[in-house]
Amino acid sequence: MAELSLGDLRRALDGLTLPDGAPLLDAVQPTGLSVAGSRVNLTITTTADRAAAFAPVRAQAEALLRRVPGVTHAFVVLTADGAGPTPDLGRTAAKADPLAGVRHVIAVASGKGGVGKSTTAVNLALGLRALGLSVGILDADVHGPSLPTLLGLHGKPAARGRKLVPMQAYGLRAMSMGLMVDAETAMVWRGPMVMSAITQMMADVDWGALDVLVVDMPPGTGDAQLALAQGTPLSGAVIVSTPQDLSLIDARRGIAMFRKVDVPILGLVENMSHFICPDCGGDHAIFGHGGAQAEADRLSVPFLGAVPLAMDLRAASDAGRPVTASDPDGPLGRIYQTMARAVMAGLTHITRGEIPARTRQDTLP
Ligand SMILES: Nc1ncnc2c1ncn2[C@@H]1O[C@H](COP(=O)(O)OP(=O)(O)OP(=O)(O)O)[C@@H](O)[C@H]1O
């Protein structure tokens, strides 16, 4: 098939105007329109206060781009760059039908990057799957998507009508921002725009019926994370930290962020807790011991488990064979299964009303 031309795509948008009558293309920066095979990404730049007024033109642009011969998927996102209140860009999408078949959306978050959030999200999802639940995982980390590597996903997701079909790996339905938009497009996204892209992405995916959708959040506790926590119908959040004081301070910020928007904390995970020496088998508490457990007690949140710093875990992740799938009954697999049982128990408490839930009332099997 002939390659899509940017000129043809721009021409398709020619007649479209912004709420103030200016051509839509005036609000598209040079890098804002990009093509990856048969998929088109368009970024419309606006300001926080005008974001809601831009929503109809966003939908029209998406419809027009989809009609261009050769386009199988068009993804149009509003950016609200610069100062201003956090816009409510994606709430409608997040609350609309696409997630109606999903019983629980849970966030896996960390106060800072590199602590093992994605590793935890994948293995927790697999642990929940091993408990017999139907589970999806969404990699919402637009600037550093790692799900394709962790699950060994290749190629692009297929489209069914206007929706993308999640990819399948180890019994999970999986979708990554990295599979939907190209890295260059995501590079120009800032703060609230990330949130709008993610909520749209959730809505653009045909998740079907799921017991749990695990969302691997972008690291940090900034505006984008807060907006995402607020704009997504989350049943609860799992916070990942390493044992160092600094990481725990960040984890505390993460817990405070979710509490601010009334999302229950399902628990705290201590990752890279202690070092298991591959040569002698010795167990070394390099960063001290029990920091996260003590922090969890102090903050009255459940402690979900301590995952050692283990070369096997890293090697398995890098090879796209997560330990909970490849060795579910090994020492690491058992830690994640225990974590999954605790999360499932937390969700059951939430659905029974013992912990206030924001959105969902049904019970897990
Ligand atoms: N317990 C562990 N033992 C050994 N290596 C680990 C462990 N947890 C994570 N890693 C490795 O650390 C690196 C970072 O992990 P991961 O990508 O899960 O972190 P993250 O918090 O999601 O990072 P980011 O902020 O980039 O999203 C990866 O190479 C991963 O394999």
pLDDT digits (tens, 9 = 90+) for 175-188: 987 777 766 666 66
Phi, psi of 320 (to 5 degrees): 70, 25
Decide: 333 and 312 in contact? Cβ < 8 Å: no
What does the alpha-carbon distance between residue 124 and residue 145 come to, in Å, rounded to a whole number?
17
Give yes or no for residue 117 CB within 6 A of ligand 1.
Answer: yes
318 CA closest ligand 1 atom index: 31
For tokens 């103030």, what's the residue? Answer: 20
What's the pLDDT score for residue 6? 86
ipTM: 0.97
**Identity of residue 225:** Q
101 annotated binding-site participant: no
Query: Are domains 6-85 and 93-351 of this chain identical in fold?
Result: no
| Whole-angstrom Cα Rg for the chain | 21
CA of 179 to the centre of ligand 1 (A): 20
User: Measured between alpha carbons, how far is residue 335 from residues 84, 120, 147, 327 in Å?
Assistant: 43, 11, 20, 11
Which of 225, 214, 339, 345 lies closest to 271, judged by CA? Answer: 339
273 annotated binding-site participant: no
CA of 120 to the centre of ligand 1 (A): 8
For tokens 């300001």, what's the residue? Answer: 47
What does the alpha-carbon distance between residue 245 and residue 78 come to, in Å, rounded to a whole number?
38
What's the pLDDT score for residue 359? 42
Give yes or no for residue 241 CB within 6 A of ligand 1.
Answer: no
Give yes or no for residue 317 CB within 6 A of ligand 1.
Answer: yes
Q: Which stretches in the chain have pLDDT values below 50?
A: 82-97, 356-365
What's the pLDDT score for residue 320? 95
What's the pLDDT score for residue 89? 34
Give yes or no for residue 205 CB within 6 A of ligand 1.
Answer: no
Give yes or no for residue 271 CB within 6 A of ligand 1.
Answer: yes
CA of 115 to the centre of ligand 1 (A): 6
Q: If you take atom 11 of ligand 1, which residue's CA is the nearest one?
A: 314
What's the pLDDT score for residue 99? 78
112 CA closest ligand 1 atom index: 25
Give yes or no for residue 273 CB within 6 A of ligand 1.
Answer: no
Architecture of domain 6-85: 2-Layer Sandwich (3.30)
Which of 179, 178, 136 lies closest to 156, judged by CA? Answer: 179
Give yes or no for residue 123 CB within 6 A of ligand 1.
Answer: no
314 CA closest ligand 1 atom index: 31
146 CA closest ligand 1 atom index: 17
What does the alpha-carbon distance between residue 347 and residue 342 come to, in Å, rounded to a whole number?
9
At 30-79, the pLDDT tens digits run 667 888 778 888 888 777 677 778 888 888 998 999 999 998 888 887 77
CATH, range 93-351: 3.40.50.300
115 annotated binding-site participant: yes
At 342-354, the pLDDT tens digits run 999 999 877 665 5
What's the pLDDT score for residue 191? 65
Give yes or no for residue 144 CB within 6 A of ligand 1.
Answer: yes
| DSSP classification of residue 100 | T
Give yes or no for residue 140 CB within 6 A of ligand 1.
Answer: no
What does the alpha-carbon distance between residue 216 and residue 119 come to, in Å, rounded to a whole number?
9
219 CA closest ligand 1 atom index: 25
Give me the residue spans of the domains in the chain: 6-85, 93-351
308 CA closest ligand 1 atom index: 1
Q: If you take atom 25 of ligand 1, which residue's CA is the nearest one?
A: 113
CA of 52 to the centre of ligand 1 (A): 37
What's the pLDDT score for residue 79? 72
End-to-end CA distance of the chain: 47
User: Measured between alpha carbons, how far is residue 257 from residues 1, 251, 262 in Å?
Assistant: 48, 10, 9
| DSSP classification of residue 300 | T
For tokens 């929940």, what's the residue? Answer: 128
